[in-house]
Amino acid sequence: MAKTGDRARTTAASALGSLDFALDRGSPVPLYHQLAQQLEAAIAQGALAPGNLLGNEVDLSVRLGLSRPTVRQAIQSLVDKGLLVRRRGVGTQVVHSQVRRPLELSSLYDDLETAGQGPTTEVVRNSVVPAACDVAAALGVPEGSEVTVLDRLRRTHGRPVALLRNHLPLPLLDLDTARLESTGLYRMMRSAGITLHSARQTVGARAATAREASRLDEEEGAALLTMQRTAYDDTGRPVEYGTHLYRASLYTFDFQLLVRP
């Protein structure tokens, strides 16, 4: 019977064997950087999946016809990005691909599911609270009036990636906790007949507090991306105000910039 380690190495060989590394030795781009870019693309596209083993540096250098320092430098650059991890006695393992989210009116859950990231949700809080000044202004309700607040921890492949806080006006829809943990908030809105039309969004960054770092499996003071969004339905009514935190080590926003005519 094959041992677990043998099966893992067979999977690694199979995964790498399906990849075509096009390394241009005459290019001014260093070979380690070319290799790192192609490995990163394979991870992002799912050709190398979380858990796949790449083998050790000696195996990789022989297979690719590269020097061991070149392979080591390529691997280290992806280890530094959090895409690979070195495991003693096993080799180099794919951890995850970084979430790249387009800036458009879509839900994080839908984007992660479409990208094959295996999203799961833990509802930390689902309650009715008085609207603070900023929440009231965003939702267009009197300060102190009752609104729903949701705190959720979103994971991909079992790893925390975002802390999501959303405020919604009352009564908007039935926010069942069990359903919130099995699907996305925007999907629930669509099912309730709410048509999302537009949003105002601000992206920023700050350091993680001790509590945030603990929940997101980061070090205190680690970089977090912030996002504030007010979403409107097709009647112009504000239906959601979100204040979200994302791990900068795992998450990026993609922008498409156009030149004005």
pLDDT at residue 175 tops 80 = yes
- Kindly tell me if the per-residue pLDDT of 106 is higher than 90: no
Q: Return the C-alpha torsion angle 98, 43, 13, 74, nearest 10.
A: -80
Long-range contacts of 105-108 (CB under 8 A, 24+ apart): 105/196, 105/197, 105/198, 105/199, 105/231, 106/186, 107/184, 107/185, 107/186, 107/187, 108/154, 108/162, 108/164, 108/184, 108/244
**pLDDT number for residue 242:** 93
Q: What's the residue count for the chain?
A: 261
What pLDDT does 153 receive?
A: 94
pLDDT of residue 234: 84
Instruction: Say what the pLDDT of residue 74 is.
Output: 87
**Residue 242, H or E segment:** strand 238-247
CB 86 within 8 A of CB 80: no
Residue 126 above 90 pLDDT?
A: yes
Q: Give the pairing of strands 119-130 and 146-156.
A: antiparallel
Percent of the chain with pLDDT over 70: 76
What average pLDDT does this structure show over 33-46?
81
User: 261 preceded by cis ω (within 30°)?
Assistant: no
Task: Give the mean pLDDT of 181-203.
Answer: 86
Q: Going from the N-terminus, what domains does the chain have, and what CATH number goes with each?
A: 31-94 (1.10.10.10), 108-247 (3.40.1410.10)
Burial code (b: 16+ CB inside 10 Å, e: under 16) for 142-175 equals eeeeebbbbebbbbbbebbbbbbbbbbbeebeeb
43: tokens are 């991870």
Q: What is the CA radius of gyration of the chain?
A: 22
What average pLDDT is seen over the chain? 79
